[in-house]
């Protein structure tokens, strides 16, 4: 399941409306709705805030298996390798001055690089899952 689907699942489990969750998380109801529909990829801080409002761990929103700590994914091993390869290529390109439109003369610190890596990886996974869902004919889809 995607992050948005996980948020919706745990919100409904707590018997909360989007408006109630938005109030608990101190954000707008429309933003919560957009996150649940996977229109926006929320920041780490936003995920922490939503997780606190739902009284659960952020690992559950990210879809990590509690017992192993590994992400539950509907992606094939080949798709996982493609994501890892593309992610490494993007991160290595970050070191060049031409690749960064926001480059201001100072290199990114390690914490910023790690947050960027997490965000990129999450976005790539979500894009792959959405494309897979959209372009797989119904008769070949596995029911989850």
The model's pTM:
0.48
The predicted-structure confidence for 14-65, as pLDDT tens digits, reads as follows 899 999 999 999 999 999 999 999 888 888 889 889 999 988 888 778 775 4
pLDDT tier at 112 (50, 70, 90 boundaries)?
confident
Could you tell me which of 112, 107, 106 has the C-alpha nearest to residue 43?
112
| Residue 131: Cβ-neighbour burial (10 angstroms; 0-12, 13-18, 19+) | exposed
Q: pLDDT at position 97, please?
A: 59
Supply the mean pLDDT for the chain. 79
Segment (H or E) for 8: helix 3-13
Q: pLDDT at position 28, please?
A: 93
Give one DSSP letter per residue of 38-98, joined into a string: TSS---HHHHHHHHHHHTS-HHHHTTB-TTT-PBP----HHHHHHHHHHHHHHHHHTTSTT
Bridge partners (DSSP) of residue 71 are 64
**CA-to-CA distance for 46 and 63, rounded, in angstroms?**
16
């Amino acid at each position: 399941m995607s992050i948005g689907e996980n948020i919706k699942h745990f919100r409904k489990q707590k018997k909360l409306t989007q408006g109630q969750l938005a109030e608990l998380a101190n954000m707008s109801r429309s933003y919560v709705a957009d996150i649940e529909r996977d229109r926006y990829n929320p920041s780490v801080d936003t995920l922490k805030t939503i997780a606190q409002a739902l009284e659960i761990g952020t690992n559950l929103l990210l879809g990590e298996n509690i017992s192993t700590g590994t992400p539950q994914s509907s992606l094939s091993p080949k798709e996982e390798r493609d994501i890892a390869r593309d992610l490494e290529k993007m991160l290595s390109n970050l070191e060049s001055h031409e690749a960064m439109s926001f480059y201001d003369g100072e290199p990114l610190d390690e914490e910023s690089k790690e947050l960027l890596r997490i965000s990129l990886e999450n976005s790539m996974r979500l894009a792959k899952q959405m494309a897979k869902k959209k372009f797989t004919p119904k008769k070949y889809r596995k029911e989850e």
